[in-house]
Structure 1
Amino acid sequence: MSYADQSNKLTPAKMVGLIFAVGFVALALVGMAMGLTISKAVQAIERVTTVDIEEPPPPPEEPDEVPPPPENAPPPPPVAPPPPIVIAPAPPPIQTQPTPPPPAPPVLVIPPPAPVAPPPPPSQARGASPRGQNRWAGRIQENYPSRALREEIEGTVGVRVTVTADGRATGCQVTSSSGSGILDEAACKGVERYGRFNPALDDAGNPTTGAFSTRITYRLN
């Protein structure tokens, strides 16, 4: 066999290389076709919808480190704490009551005027008075006590008697002594025995008990 015959003969190795070459060409053609199709699809999408996407702002820059204070720097001024806040307790709820209506004014009842009573009759009251005093006083002096005559005793006796409703004298009392018990006793007995009186009267004019005072004088002739 000549060298030309050997070179034209299709060996398995050549066959594998041929297959690879044909596959590579086919893949290249398929890739070109697919690239054209994707490019047209992207252009169509961009024509249909355009979306603006804003980029997020950049993060803030971190502050630079604060340099430490110098060693001889004065301390910061003290900061007074804020005053405490006093919260007053809530006041108790105010209970309001409806104001009652004012009471109705009382009904003023004016009674009818009382009938005018007739004026009372004039009072007829009066005190006891002597009746015939000169007469019975003379009789008393005529009965001069005998002992006083012998001793020549004179004097005036003041007496007070109670006059009964029938005009008689009783309960004689010496209001002014003559200085002689003989004359004082004789004067009281004489008035009770010989005295006559008009009795006292009450407001209606009825006789009632009264009183009378007088003086009896004893004098020698």
Structure 2
Amino acid sequence: MAYADQSMSSRKVISIGLVAALHALLGYAFITGLAFNVIKKVSSDLKTFDVQEAPPPKAAPPPPPPKTVQPPPPMVTPPPIVQVQTVTAPQVISVPTAPVIHEAAPVAPPAPPVSQAVRATPKGNFQSLMSTDDYPSSSLRNNEEGTVGYRLDVGTDGKVTGCQVTQSSGHPLLDDTSCRLLSRRARFNIGKDAAGNATTSVYNGRFTWKIPKD
């Protein structure tokens, strides 16, 4: 049994060696054949390859002419700057003035006409119009004295048109005698209205009765 196993192992080794050798032979043949084909291909390519010569280099263009450098202009020293003080005129503010309104002078009303009105004035002293002869005899006997106040109505002709006792002397006879004599004897400068026309008037006065001393 051991012999049979040993014999079988020897055959496996030989078989493996043969297979390996076969593979090595096939690999070598493949490699050498492939190399031959490559060399053949390269040789064929080398036979048909044309090497072109490089064109000659182009001539370089001539350099541009040098630029003419203009000399800088001479430096001119600027004149000194004189600071001139600017005098500004004072600002004139125009104030609008209100228009002058010339009011018309008020027209003075016409002067009123000069009034010519005057009151009636007595002609002479009425106290002298009556004398002792005018004294009522009964009043003399009774020593009746007194002052009579009166008002006379004066007409446009200056004559008395009426008499009224405004203050009694205390003696009716003396009062009545006063109005009677004044109405007959008294005369007036006529009174006038504003237009200068003669007008009626009123005059107030007094008359004193006094018994003369012997």
* TM-score category (smaller protein): 0.3 to 0.5
**Higher Cα radius of gyration:** 2
